[in-house]
Amino acid sequence: MAASWRCRQTDPVHVLDARGLPPYPHADGRAGLAHSSEIPMDLFTHVNWIAVVVAAVAAFALGAIWFAPPVFGNAWLAALGKPKEEMGMPASAMGLSFVVTLVICLTMAMILTRMPLTTTMGAARLGFAIGVGIVAMGMASDFAFTKWPRKLYWIQASYHVVMMTLIGTILGAWR
């Protein structure tokens, strides 16, 4: 009896999530955990591409609102120590920012397709946890070494936490 239990724990075909379902199907439809050689081809098959684009546009719009002068834009510029005229309208930076946001949304969608989250709130919580625990904490380390103003950190880090929560909410709602 003990030997068969140990076998079931190490056999990836018999690993189940909290609902008693396999965490995700193999590319060929078999249940259970895929082997690492199967994962790259299977990553994109369950992604809702429309949700990814909508989440990217929403996150980009959030940035436009967040960094608008009446919201945090003036405080952000002051923390940077730069006048608005020096910033200009950097089209290439905006384009890169949208591409980065799209990649973030795609990555979050791929993570969500592998997780047994069943609710929009669960996906929002995951986005919040990634925003705080990975993004904001990684930024804190950068800010500690660069000696940039704390106000700059809080404006940017809080934006990324809200952005990741928004992305998780949108992608979770469209699962």
Rounded to an integer, what distance in angstroms lies between the CA atom of residue 154 and that of residue 151?
A: 5
Percent of the chain with pLDDT over 90: 57
Domain co-membership, 128 together with 95: yes
Question: Containing domain of residue 4, as a range?
Answer: 1-39
The residue among 27 and 175 whose pLDDT is bigger is 175
Domain co-membership, 13 together with 92: no
Question: What is the pTM assigned to this prediction?
Answer: 0.75
**pLDDT at residue 171 tops 70:** yes
Q: What pLDDT, on the 0 to 100 scale, is given for residue 143?
A: 92
Domain co-membership, 35 together with 53: no
Rounded to an integer, what distance in angstroms lies between the CA atom of residue 43 and that of residue 55?
A: 18
Q: What is the pLDDT of residues 130-141, one digit of tens each?
A: 999 999 999 999
Confidence bin at 117 (pLDDT 50/70/90): confident
Q: What is the pLDDT of residues 37-80, one digit of tens each?
A: 545 556 777 889 999 999 999 999 999 999 999 999 999 999 99
**E strands along the chain, which residues?**
none
Domain co-membership, 61 together with 138: yes
Domain co-membership, 164 together with 90: yes
Lowest mean pLDDT among 32-46, 74-88, 105-119: 32-46
3-state secondary structure of 169: helix
